[in-house]
Structure formats: structure tokens, C-alpha cells
Amino acid sequence: MFKLDGKVAIVTGATSGIGVSIAEKFVEAGAKVVIAGRRRAEGEAVAKRLGAQVRFKQTDVTDEAQMKALIADALSGFGRLDCIVNNAGGPGPVGSIETIPVDGFDACVALNCRSVMLGMKLTAPIFRKQRSGSIINVGSIAALRAGFSSSMVYSMAKAGVVHLTKVVAMELAEANVRVNSISPGAIATGIFGKALGAADPERTAAIARQVLAKAQPIPRAGLPEDIAGAAVYLASDESSFVTAHDIVIDGGMIGGRFWTAQQDGLNNMRKAFGVSVE
């Protein structure tokens, strides 16, 4: 495992799903972590479970004052800051371009993209001054291909995250600060249930794990720990020469056409041409 001994990190959206898994892996690797989220009870429970290396700060990541308070909490509580994982996000309004509500559009962009901008804006001066730091933004394969989200607004917001990551990376690299993004594929969390209106979204993660098992060439659903492992690498010194990259973790989902489907298509064409199929 890559080591994070002596490092301090902030992980937003860490009361469930991918954020919790990243916090867990960071602690295992030796880091101290401030986890952030809107749900106090859940956040405090996670912090208690993970122990003295973890603090919880209730935070609405769309609010600049609250983000400033989150970063101040990390500095006052642990004395330094080495990494921020801008993970907080959520589904956007579904449906056609003709039906998107403007307030839903604005809320989705604020949560999924503007919050990432705030995380980078407010940590950049700290990292620039100490000439070190790793910023990790969570994107999505929906940013890279149309049709991979229930919401076109979510896709657009995540595309903004991926490109903003690269733009900021090129600026901060000159101060020895690294900025990268991770684009998950079909990861079995409660976001699918939340997007589709399930009464208890967190309970849908196990169902999503079954439904998504054949959604990509690797025959299983993605798991939060698949993303967490990449985050540990990007936070560690072993990735000190890696910046301005978007790491896609999707089991091959957007790599191209499934091999079996391609071969079936070729065989069907052979049959249409009167060519024997062995």
C-alpha cells in the first residue's frame, strides 16, 4: 500500500459511499483526515468509528464560508494540510433539455462543480506557500461520454470538473502542487437510488451491485474501494510526478465495444454474406 504517514487530508462528501471509503483507506495508509458532509449524525458516526485520526466538520460545500471553516478546522486540528479530495456531489434533474428546471440546473452545478472550484480556490494558497500538496477531484465517466448519467446536467457539471482540474493543474504545477481527477464508472453506491427517487437511497447500493455486474467488461460492479485506492496513490509521494490527469476507473466501460458483442456482430454479418461461421 502507498503510504500517507504524516499527511493531513480533507475528504468532502464523506458520510457515505466513495467518500467514506477514501477516508478509510487514507487512515489505513497513515493519514489524518477531516471528513466533511451535511449530515451530522452520519459524519460523527464515521469519525467515531475511524478513531482519533479523523475529525468531522459539518459542511455545505456549496457555501464558501463553510468551506473556509472546514479548511481552518483541518489546520487548527492537525496543524497542516497536504491533500483535499473534492468528492461531494449528487444527482441532477432528469429528463429532456426541454424540461430541465433552472433552479435544479443551478443547484446541480453548485454541488458538483462550483464546490470543486471552491475547494481548489481555498487550498491553493496553502499548497502554493508550502510548495507541496495534492488536489484530487472526483469526476465521472459521464463527463467523458454522453448517456452515462440519468441527468445531462450532472454530466455537464462533471465535465466541468474534469476540465477545470486540468486548467488548474497547469497553473499550480509551477508551485509543485499537483491536481488530478478520478472518473468513476458504475460504482455501486446509493447515488443511483437517489437519482431515481428511491425512498431509502442508501439501501439501494446492494441492489445496484447486482444490477451493474454486467455493465462493463470486467464482470462485477465497481466498488467504492476501487476509487479509494486510486485516491491514496494520488495523495502519496509515489505520484509526485503525476498531474493534470483524469484517471478513469470503470472496468472498461468506456474503453470500446464489448468483445463478445463485437464477435457476435461479425458472425451475424458473415451469415448475411453467406460466409460460414466456424
- For cell 426541454, what's the residue? 98
* DSSP per-residue string spanning 193-215: HHHTT-SSGGGGHHHHHHHGGGS
pLDDT at 192: 81
- Judge whether 93 lies within some domain: yes
pLDDT at 197: 82
- Judge whether 53 lies within some domain: yes
**What are 38's three cell numbers?**
451535511
Q: Is 258 exposed, middle or buried (0-12, 13-18, 19+ CB in 10 A)?
A: middle
- Judge whether 72 lies within some domain: yes
pLDDT at 103: 98
- Cα-Cα-Cα-Cα torsion 33, 70, 166, 32, nearest 10 degrees, comes to -10
User: Which pTM does this prediction carry?
Assistant: 0.94
Beta bridge partners of 86: 137
Q: Which of 159, 184, 181, 157 is nearest to 168 (CA)?
A: 181
Residues labelled as active-site residues: 154
Q: Which of 248, 229, 145, 138 is nearest to 191 (CA)?
A: 138
Helix residue ranges per DSSP H, 51-175: 64-78, 102-109, 115-130, 152-172
The CATH number linked to 13 is 3.40.50.720
- Judge whether 74 lies within some domain: yes
User: If the chain, 278 residues long, is cut into consecutive pieces of 10 residues, what is the mean pLDDT of each piece?
Assistant: 94 96 98 97 98 98 98 98 98 96 98 98 98 98 96 98 98 98 93 80 84 94 96 98 98 96 94 89
Residues spanned by the domain of 85: 8-273
| Rounded CA separation 259/14 (Å) | 36
For Cα atoms 89, 175, 238, give the angle at the middle one, nearest 5 degrees: 70
- Judge whether 3 lies within some domain: no
CB atoms within 10 A of CB 92: 25
- For cell 478520478, what's the residue? 182
Q: What is the pLDDT of residues 86-121, one digit of tens each?
A: 999 999 999 999 999 999 999 999 999 999 999 999
pLDDT at 123: 98
- Judge whether 267 lies within some domain: yes
Q: How many domains does the chain have?
A: 1
- Judge whether 278 lies within some domain: no
Q: Under DSSP, is residue 229 helix (H, G, I), strand (E, B) or coil? A: helix
Cα–chain center distance at 109: 15
**What are 118's three cell numbers?**
471552491
- Judge whether 2 lies within some domain: no
| Rounded CA separation 275/129 (Å) | 68
For Cα atoms 70, 59, 149, give the angle at the middle one, nearest 5 degrees: 120
pLDDT at 120: 98
Q: Which of 134, 122, 153, 148 is nearest to 22 (CA)?
A: 134
pLDDT at 189: 86
